[in-house]
Structure 1
Amino acid sequence: MGRPSVSGAMLRDLLLCERKVALDAHGGDARRDPVSPFVRMLWRDGLAHEDAILGRLRGSVVDLRGDDRDLRERETSRAMAAGAPTILGAVIRSGDKIGMPDLLTASGAGHVAFDVKSGAALESATGRYKREYLVQVAHYARILGEIGAGPADTCGIVDRTGAAVTYDLSIPLGRNLGTGGDLHASLLTRAREVLDGAGDTAPALSARCGMCEWRSHCRAELAATDDLTLIPGLGRAIRAPISSIADTVAGLAAADPAQLRALPGVGVDRLRRFAERARLLADPSAGPVARAPLKIPAAEHEVDFDVEADPMRGIVYLHGFWHERESAEPGFVYFFAETPDERGERRAFAQAIGHFRQHRDAQWFHYSAYERTAYRDLQRRHPEVCDAAEIEAIFASERCTDLYATVAAQTDWPLSSYGIKAIAKACGFAWEDKDPGGAASIEWYDRHVAGEAGLRERIVAYNRDDVRAGARVRAALRELEATGHIAGFQRPAA
């Protein structure tokens, strides 16, 4: 059996994690984790979105999506040769490269390839091409150019709104980054090396690992090799320069702080902070450490809040609030979007804003910047509910505290993640659900919308635990500042 063909999806995976490509090619299915329900939901919803977008096309359309791959490849060649205006489900090939663009459209220079995506085609912060999308469609453009069927530097994305955004592979992606064509060429070379088994690939711990079928296998590898990416904040991109002075957590822990110097992409202060975190991870008796006064605000009435969102539908559907008062029992209040649409989102948002107004004298807490971003976006979508100034007042530093910002900037923990789940569990909190997680709750909501009974209660219970976990972390941080330790802290089992 020969080497697999290089596909656009393979190049996207390589951009994100080359270890996944190596394991897909050489790892064997027995070591894979089961595909999570959330990932299956993404696949299903992605296909449904693709069908909805492509189903709107009018005019002369050659639709090959129901055929087998060999027939699709033959019919694609015939349709392109005949100048078909629109081809769906195409298969194109050149040498060891195969491409399966969702859509080919005729242009004056031949056919141009597009993929349909449920996200935005451009990065929101920079307005640049989304690189994980670009490498896929660049692959199709290069194939079309090589077989003389279309321009080699033009391709595009049909985004979540149905708008077509064209990518020009000849322009630079950013300062010193080369062009989109350069990025494709380098990934193609590396993909061939990985498929041939040449050159080592190494896993790296990241937020994306949770959805990967190789997560258990790679986590065991990372633990066995004492990999540097087990240190929070130390990702794949800066592992290489840091490994020039130490290639394991224990090695970095043993480094003399006075001898540490700035490395490419890593300033000396940041490097010393990583070394401090490494020392905590390497010491089995270590607990959390406060590096500066935490100054967690205290008030007679304190509220932890959290939102749940469905990124596929683009709505925030649940707002949860955990109230603690000196003179009353703690209590949970929530507002749920009764319909999975703009109207339901607006009503729940209005109820949440009313709740903030009702308790404007309380001290508010959340964990991570997501809540601020979500409320700003909600205000822009529903300006009739409140104005932007009110959102900024809610999150003003004198009345609202992001506990994650405190954790990340002013503390260090002997943990590989500073997320709410890792921190709260280490501080003794336990979620009621056996499978807690934001991805799981999105999948539950999808099934709830489809009519499955009992899931609304599960979603609400999960959100209640999230805000209670925030309260537990808040109490633990105060204990750490007051006593120098957290009595209930327990490191996770290896």
Structure 2
Amino acid sequence: MRRDDHDSSLGAFYYEAVDIKAGRGWEEREGSKPKFKRHYALQIMFYRDLLARVQGYAPPLGRIINIDSETEEFPCADFEADYASSLREVKLVAANETSEPVLSSVCGQCEWYRKCRRWVEDTRDPTGLFFVGKQKFALKERGLATIDAIAEMDVKRYLRGPEKIPGLGEKSLERMKRRAQVMLAGKPEIRPGFVFPQAEEEIYFDIEDDPTQGLVYFYGMVLQDGNGRDEFMFLQADGPEEEENTVRLFWEFIRAHPRAVFYVYSHKERSTLRALMERYQLDPAVFEQYCGQELDLYKFVVDHSDWPTYSYGIKQIARQVGFSWRDPDPSGANSIAWYNDYLKDTSRKELMQRILEYNEDDCRAMIAIKRYFERNA
């Protein structure tokens, strides 16, 4: 709790809650402006609201102390509307008056996930389709209450006049209709017109990191070439103090493979490497080399296919093509938990082995997805 000077109902001063975090508040993503983490901000906004009810004053800035012991600020006005909306939803939950669920790719770690997914499947809810989300409420207002209705809709009917759906143009509605038809058919649709780059090597690459600590602790790569090579390689940091040395070794790995294609399944690898380059003043020419060699399979999947699933994340898509993970509960969140347990007791080598196998399976899931596209081009 911090005391500062400003008139309030308490006197010529007020109190402000400053939260201590195990990560950083401001984050940058390639091609977009820096943003303050929403979940950090909403927590501060809640504290600010509680204090304002007591002292009659709410400061214009919110603050955290980040993992580097630095104070970070954000304008509270940027989150006022979001906070008010979130507070209304929480009050509905507390009053047992919740609206129906919205299924999305972030739901997998929630304890209500299975129940919500069953409800979505049983009711044929539109959020059973990829990238519908909260748009389903606007769809339902126009009578498009199920996947079946979306699959049969006359798109032009909803482009103008009183039945126009806000925020959804012809292209978006056509894509939604096609995804609904794919869902009803129960099999993926691969669209023609794509090619994979020809290269001497293919490297399927996946990072394990703990964003709460700003720590990258594992780099996994499956290397394949035209001569039958199929090798899993990895670099791991046995503790936070080894992060710099590990990323420097990976920089040398990139430098040693100038004619490879690096396959990933998100923007995370590129943005993480950029942040590490800036943190440790690594050679930017190597990073630019990597960017020129990277292919994001997630973007490829979204651009060139439709699937009978609500999420196009790697776990959902790879399972659609018959791939399975060795671990009974594979997830990035679990990888972080295993690593933090390992840091508490580094004699537990089985935890690092579990991370290794999980990471290798993520890499091999990418291979399975790429091969499926090649077979069904």
Under TM normalisation by the shorter chain, which class is it? 0.7 to 0.9
Q: Name the SS of the counterpart of 1:360 in structure 2.
A: coil
Asked if 1:466 corresponds to 2:373, the answer is no
Asked if 1:325 corresponds to 2:225, the answer is yes
Q: Is the 8 A contact 1:304 1:468 kept in 2?
A: yes
For 1:365 and 1:401, the matched residues in 2 are separated by 5
Alignment match of 2:58 (pick from 132, 152, 168) = 152
Q: Which residue of 1 aligns with 2:141?
A: 244
For 1:212 and 1:350, the matched residues in 2 are separated by 36
Q: Which residue of 2 aligns with 1:341?
A: 240
Q: Is the 8 A contact 1:141 1:152 kept in 2?
A: yes
**1:216 Cα deviation after fit:** 1.6
Alignment of 1:158-237 (within 5 A): 158-160=64-66, 161-165=68-72, 169=76, 171=77, 173=78, 180=80, 184-185=83-84, 187-189=86-88, 191-198=90-97, 200-236=98-134
Per-residue CA deviation, residues 123-165 of structure 1 (Å, 9 max, x unaligned), is: 6454565444444433433443333x35234563323233444
Instruction: Give the partner amino acid of 2:136.
Output: R
Q: Name the SS of the counterpart of 1:305 in structure 2.
A: strand
Q: Name the SS of the counterpart of 1:462 in structure 2.
A: helix
**1:439 Cα deviation after fit:** 1.2
Alignment match of 2:334 (pick from 419, 436, 440) = 440
For 1:162 and 1:150, the matched residues in 2 are separated by 30
Per-residue CA deviation, residues 228-285 of structure 1 (Å, 9 max, x unaligned), is: 112111112x22222233121111112134544263122220121011101111223x
For 1:453 and 1:184, the matched residues in 2 are separated by 43
Over 3 Å counting, the alpha-carbon distance change for 1:332 and 1:184 in structure 2 is: closer
Instruction: Give the partner amino acid of 1:428.
Output: G
For 2:71 and 2:171, the matched residues in 1 are separated by 44
Point out which structure has higher relative CO (alpha carbons under 8 A, 6+ apart). Answer: 2
Instruction: Give the partner amino acid of 1:472.
Output: A
Q: Which residue of 1 aligns with 2:170?
A: 268
For 2:4 and 2:218, the matched residues in 1 are separated by 44
For 1:121 and 1:233, the matched residues in 2 are separated by 27
Over 3 Å counting, the alpha-carbon distance change for 1:393 and 1:112 in structure 2 is: same
**1:300 Cα deviation after fit:** 4.3
Per-residue CA deviation, residues 298-352 of structure 1 (Å, 9 max, x unaligned), is: 3343221111112233121111111222223411111112x3224x122222222
Asked if 1:120 corresponds to 2:20, the answer is no
> Structure 1: 5+ residue runs without aligned partners?
1-102, 174-178, 482-494
**1:445 Cα deviation after fit:** 1.0
Q: Which residue of 2 aligns with 1:375?
A: 273
Per-residue CA deviation, residues 55-114 of structure 1 (Å, 9 max, x unaligned), is: xxxxxxxxxxxxxxxxxxxxxxxxxxxxxxxxxxxxxxxxxxxxxxxx353544322233
For 2:270 and 2:132, the matched residues in 1 are separated by 25
For 2:46 and 2:118, the matched residues in 1 are separated by 33
RMSD after superposition: 2.5
TM-score, scaled to structure 2: 0.86
Over 3 Å counting, the alpha-carbon distance change for 1:159 and 1:271 in structure 2 is: farther
Q: Quick check: 355-364 or 255-264, which moved more?
A: 255-264
Q: Which residue of 1 aligns with 2:251?
A: 353
Over 3 Å counting, the alpha-carbon distance change for 1:197 and 1:323 in structure 2 is: closer
Over 3 Å counting, the alpha-carbon distance change for 1:131 and 1:467 in structure 2 is: closer
Q: Is the 8 A contact 1:112 1:154 kept in 2?
A: no
Asked if 1:310 corresponds to 2:245, the answer is no
TM-score, scaled to structure 1: 0.67
Instruction: Give the partner amino acid of 2:138.
Output: P
Matched length: 360
Alignment match of 2:288 (pick from 392, 395, 401) = 392
> Structure 2: 5+ residue runs without aligned partners?
6-11
Identical aligned residues as a percent:
30
